[in-house]
Amino acid sequence: MNIKLENISKNFNKRLIIEGVDLQVDFGKLVHIIGSNGSGKSTIFKIICKIIEPDSGSIEFSDQTQLGALIENPSFMEDMSLKKNLQFLGGIKKQFDEEKVIRLTERLGLDYDSKVKVGKYSVGMRQKMGIIQAIMEDQNLILLDEPTRGLDKAALAELKRLIEELIAENKTIIIASHDNLSELNFDEQYLLEEGRLQLN
Ligand SMILES: Nc1ncnc2c1ncn2[C@@H]1O[C@H](COP(=O)(O)OP(=O)(O)O)[C@@H](O)[C@H]1O
Ligand SMILES: [Mg+2]
């Protein structure tokens, strides 16, 4: 088991957003959480990342877990280049494999050496950067929140290949989206509705 959520609940301003959510995901699984806008998908991811605290419930990670996440609109150092941003993010944990990061940026159609400040990047380009930082340090539990947002066809196809490679390396990926992403082969699909998460 890579991650286990038990009976997670969360209120915002006395409104119950997440109610008794259980989720257990094994290594190497590709899992999908589908829910409409505002159903609480990002909230669940933020709880897993400890950005927000649940009102109740518990989360357990396996010892080897290294968490990577793309959540909502990723924020970057807006007046810096892509390279500076990724070097900075990779430097935090001293796990920066620059060759690997260059390969990832090329695959997703970004220019690693571009001088353009990321504040000038489009939604899709920022999304690609967000995907790169979520996987570039060999993270083995990867959360991708609406990862296809703003991506063109070529980038979508590349993302699909990347996901398949990561799963083949026994990494765990949880994707949240409002659409059904039928191009991906999920091992498990859950529906998030009225705060409750149910196997679909
Ligand atoms: N920090 C917050 N304070 C108050 N309400 C919030 C907060 N974050 C999210 N919400 C509300 O919780 C609900 C679920 O939001 P979210 O998890 O972002 O949904 P999704 O990602 O599925 O679109 C929404 O109604 C949203 O307005
Ligand atoms: Mg969201």
The structural domains of the chain, ordered by start, are: 3-199 (3.40.50.300)
* pLDDT for res 94: 74
Could you tell me the distance, in angstroms and rounded to a whole number, from the CA of residue 10 to the centre of ligand 1? 10
Look at ligand 1, atom 3, and give the residue with the nearest C-alpha.
12
Residue 92, CA distances (Å) to 26, 85, 137, 141, 198 in order: 27, 11, 11, 18, 36
pTM, to two decimals: 0.96
Atom number in ligand 1 closest to CA 46: 17
Ligand 1 centre to CA of 37 (Å) is 9
Give me the long-range contacts of 99-107 (CB less than 8 A, separation at least 24): 100/136, 101/132, 101/136, 104/132, 104/135, 104/136, 104/162, 105/132, 107/158, 107/162
Ligand 1 pocket residues where CB is under 6 Å: 12-13, 17, 35, 37-43
Which residue in 141, 147, 136 sits closest to 175, CA to CA? 147
Sign of dihedral through CA atoms 126, 158, 24, 181? positive
CA–CA distance, 100 with 6 (Å, rounded to integer): 36
Each residue's pLDDT, cut to its tens digit, for the chain (200 residues) gives 899 999 999 999 999 999 999 999 999 999 999 999 999 999 999 999 999 999 999 999 999 999 999 999 889 999 999 999 999 998 877 778 999 999 999 999 999 999 999 999 999 999 999 999 999 999 999 999 999 999 999 999 999 999 999 999 999 999 999 999 999 999 999 999 999 999 98
- Please name which ligand lies nearest the alpha carbon of 51: 1
Token duo for residue 9: 């609940």
